[in-house]
Amino acid sequence: MLREKIRIASETDGEIRGKFCRETLGEEELSGLTFAGAEFSACRFVRCNFSGASFHKSAFSDCVFSGCSFREGWFRECSFSGCKGEGSDFFGAVFKDCSLSGGSFSYASFSESLWENCRAEGVGFRDAGFSEARFKNVSLDRADFSSADFFRASLKGTDFSRCETGGILLSEGLSELKGTFVGPLQACALVRLLGIGVRTGTEKEPPPKKTTPFR
């Protein structure tokens, strides 16, 4: 059913609506299409091209995006629950008023993307790329950004204190973190990146060195 609706929309420039369950698409050309109020459940997309596609008030539940491209796509009031988009390309995509819960987007590229009024809860972003991405009023809870690349990203006002941030990549001077919020342990790790040692107050003082007076 989904493939037929895609064919019709491609020929008429119409919107794709409806509920789609356990559909599988491989290497389909879907660039520039518009999805409005669409609901996808347990669907699988393999190496599909969604570049420039628009999604409005659409929901994805337990879906898999394997090697797909969403470059410069547009997501407005969309939800992702338990989805896997590992290694997919979201370069320059726009996410507004969206929610993500569970699932994994490890190794995905979100470079130069915009996130505005979004929430991510329990999502895996390990080794994902967020270079030059922009976060505006983004709420994060238990998201895993381990080893993610935030080089030259704009993150002011974002609270990472309940997230995993070990090994994240930043520019020299950590300017990306200006105006963000982190927890005490995260702060210690970040201070060490600046070459500053951290004393906990529990270290034993070294014994005084013996000196030989000048004669």
CATH code (residue 51): 2.160.20.80
Rounded Cα distance between 140 and 123, Å, is: 9
Q: Calculate mean pLDDT across residues 105-111.
A: 98
With respect to residue 206, please indicate whether it lies within any of the assigned structural domains: no
- Number of folded domains in the chain? 1
Q: Are 3 and 27 in contact (CB under 8 A)?
A: no
- Residue 66 contacts by C-beta under 8 Å, 6 or more apart in sequence? 44, 45, 46, 47, 84, 86, 87, 88
Q: Are 114 and 98 in contact (CB under 8 A)?
A: no
With respect to residue 42, please indicate whether it lies within any of the assigned structural domains: yes
Q: Does 67 score more than 90 pLDDT?
A: yes
Domain that holds residue 22: 2-193
pLDDT at 212: 43
With respect to residue 212, please indicate whether it lies within any of the assigned structural domains: no
With respect to residue 176, please indicate whether it lies within any of the assigned structural domains: yes
With respect to residue 210, please indicate whether it lies within any of the assigned structural domains: no
| Average pLDDT of every residue of the chain | 91
Dump pLDDT digits (tens) for 167-209.
999 998 889 999 999 998 888 777 776 665 656 666 565 655 5
Q: Does 215 score more than 50 pLDDT?
A: no
pLDDT at 66: 95
With respect to residue 147, please indicate whether it lies within any of the assigned structural domains: yes
With respect to residue 151, please indicate whether it lies within any of the assigned structural domains: yes
The candidate with the shortest Cα–Cα distance to 80, out of 45, 119, 131, 106, is: 119
pLDDT at 214: 37
Q: Does 19 score more than 90 pLDDT?
A: yes
* pTM, to two decimals: 0.87
With respect to residue 25, please indicate whether it lies within any of the assigned structural domains: yes
Q: Are 148 and 130 in contact (CB under 8 A)?
A: yes
